[in-house]
Chains A and B, each alone.
Chain A
């Protein structure tokens, strides 16, 4: 297959975390790279770049999606939420972020942004998951440090925090 002689450049405007941001990028720019390289939102992490690891998961109109399996140009009509949009202030962590700190649900932290986005969206639809349901909910995200036990606990704990149950 032939490649175009010159790279097609586009002005791409995204609504990210409630703010419209515009940058010039090639048509082939993945959403994950657009967020990181062109908009400076480095909270979204890039692991496998073929949709398996879940580290780059962002919310597209509130639903989790792999940012590495979407082109920035295709994302333009949608509301994109990154981990920065879920909680970007150490003094005002989101319920999922609070639960991760309380349950020691991360070690190196590389996979954490993808877990936070995935779990935040999951709890919107499933406010009171069992540990088994929590395990299924995170099955599309890989973590190489924790062995997942504390992440499962954090899902259940985050649900408690969201429901206002401070134990």
Chain B
């Protein structure tokens, strides 16, 4: 349970980090919070020859809020995002989701951007990224580029990121006025990877639904968006077609069976969690108001 030997690189700037990543190529991994990477190294499921430790890189630790986005730098810890009052006010879904990530002791080190770059289908924040139409900001040898979250994830633990590129920030899109959000997940034990989870955004026009979208955790190979607007638009909050929503969720998700739960159980759970999230978004509570 010890990592294999590696060479530790401690760049001080993004350009230095990208330069080192270019030199070491596929034999390098970026180390930020390390809460997913280091277990994998300890168990020797991976043994990269080079770790590019970005914890000393300047300028990656900020949360910036604009009228359109909440921009989260690559060194913002989950706990920092969870505590950030401005981010929670601008996009409540961020706090609703991030407090579900593992345990507090993991959230103090793990980074939100790192969990997106890691692209684990069981991760909470990738599903929030796609649901909010986030933009992934990347720097590579030829300069910066931006990748819509919808195009970023290509498979479990796979993204369009090149080995010599560094994710420097993710810009989560803010939601229209009148939008409510909720995040809920279910695990066998507190802090475990969720058996299933859902992030939901519902835009209301008075008492009626104007638009609704959901994304999921642990039940789709890549985080993607299920648009529920056709089912829900124009329906009042007291008269939602919950059975039809559950059916749409069951048809959308594609879970796998493992030792923790069967695919059927996860499918049922995703549908039920969506029903609960819908109830949370359409009953009076202030926490989810955007």
Residues of A near any B CB (own CB < 8 A): 1-4, 7-8, 10, 26-28, 30, 33, 49-51, 54, 57, 60, 63-66, 68-71, 73-74, 77, 118, 122, 136-137, 139-140
| Residue ID in chain A nearest B49 by CB atoms | A2
In chain B, what residue has the closest Cβ to A68?
B42
Pick out which of these stretches binds chain A: B32-40, B63-71, B204-212: B32-40
Instruction: Report B-chain residues with C-beta under 8 Å of the C-beta of A28.
Output: 2-6, 8, 41
Residues of A within 8 A of B229 (CB): none
Choose the segment among B98-106, B148-156, B247-255 that binds chain A (4+ C-beta atoms closer than 8 Å). Answer: B98-106
Contact B105 A65 (CB under 8 A): yes
18 A-B pairs within 8 Å (CB atoms) are namely A1-B47, A2-B27, A27-B7, A28-B6, A30-B3, A30-B42, A50-B39, A60-B109, A68-B42, A71-B53, A73-B53, A74-B31, A74-B55, A122-B104, A139-B103, A139-B189, A140-B103, A140-B190
* CB atoms of B2 and A30 under 8 A apart: yes
Known interface pairs A3-B5, A4-B7; A69-B47 also in contact (CB < 8 Å): no
Beta-carbon contact of B27 and A50 below 8 Å: no
Contact B35 A69 (CB under 8 A): yes
Q: Are B35 and A8 in contact (CB under 8 A)?
A: no
Among A4, A65, A66, A74, the residue within 8 A (CB) of B49 is A4
A65 in contact with B108 given A3-B47, A7-B5 (CB within 8 Å):
yes
Does B11 sit within 8 A of A, measured CB to CB?
A: no
* CB within 8 Å of A: which B1-54 residues: 1-8, 10, 26-27, 31, 34-35, 38-39, 41-43, 46-49, 51, 53
A118 to B39, CA, bound (A): 20
- Asked if B56 CB lies within 8 Å of chain A CBs, one says yes
* B191 within 8 Å of A (CB atoms): yes
Within 8 A of A (CB), among B46-91: 46-49, 51, 53, 55-56, 79
**Which residues of A are found within 8 Å of B190, using beta-carbon distances?**
136, 139-140
- Assembly CA distance A69 to B111 (angstroms): 13
Q: Is the beta-carbon distance between A33 and B27 smaller than 8 angstroms?
A: no
Known contacts A60-B108, A140-B105, A77 near B5 by CB under 8 Å: no
Query: Interface majority SS on A: helix, strand, loop or mixed?
Result: mixed
Q: Is the CB of B34 within 8 A of A70?
A: yes
For B106, the closest partner residue in chain A by CB is: A51
Q: Evaluate contact between A4 and B47: CB separation under 8 angstroms.
A: no
Chain B residues near A64 (CB-CB < 8 A): 104-105, 108
Q: Which residue of A lies closest to B50 (CB)?
A: A4
**A54 and B10 alpha carbons, distance in the complex (Å):** 28
Q: Taking A27-B6, A65-B105 as contacts, is the C-beta distance between A140 and B191 under 8 angstroms?
A: yes
CA distance A112 to B39 in the complex (A): 22
Give the number of residue pairs across the A-B interface with Cβ within 8 Å: 110
Cα of A118 to Cα of B103 in the assembled complex, Å: 11
**Contact-size category for B:** 35 or more
When distances are taken between beta carbons in the complex, the residues of chain A under 8 Å from B191 are: 139-140
Q: How far is the CA of A28 from the CA of B8 in the complex (A)?
A: 8
Which of chain B's residues have a CB closer than 8 A to the CB of A3? 4-6, 47, 49
| Residues on A with beta carbons closer than 8 Å to the beta carbon of B42 | 30, 49-50, 68
A49 to B103, CA, bound (A): 16
Q: Closest CB-CB distance, B30 to chain A, in whole Å?
A: 13
A3 CA / B5 CA spacing, docked (Å): 6
Chain B residues contacting A139 (CB-CB under 8 Å) are 103, 189-191
A66 contacts B109, C-beta separation under 8 Å: yes
- Contact A26–B106 (Cβ < 8 Å): no
**Which residue of the partner chain A has the closest CB to B77?**
A63
Q: Find out whether the CB atom of A140 lies under 8 angstroms from the CB atom of B104.
A: yes
Cβ contact of B105, chosen from A7, A66, A73, cutoff 8 A: A66
A57-B47 contact, Cβ under 8 Å, with A1-B27, A8-B8: no
Report the bound CA distance from A33 to B2 in whole Å.
Answer: 10
Contact A69 B34 (CB under 8 A): yes
B46 → chain A closest CB, angstroms: 7
Closest-by-CB residue of B relative to A26 is B5
Assembled-state Cα–Cα distance A66/B5 (Å): 21
Q: Chain B nearest CB: distance from A81 CB in Å? A: 13
| Given A27-B51, A140-B104; 11 other pairs, CB 8 A cutoff | A3-B5, A3-B49, A7-B5, A28-B41, A30-B38, A51-B39, A71-B8, A73-B53, A77-B55, A137-B104, A140-B103
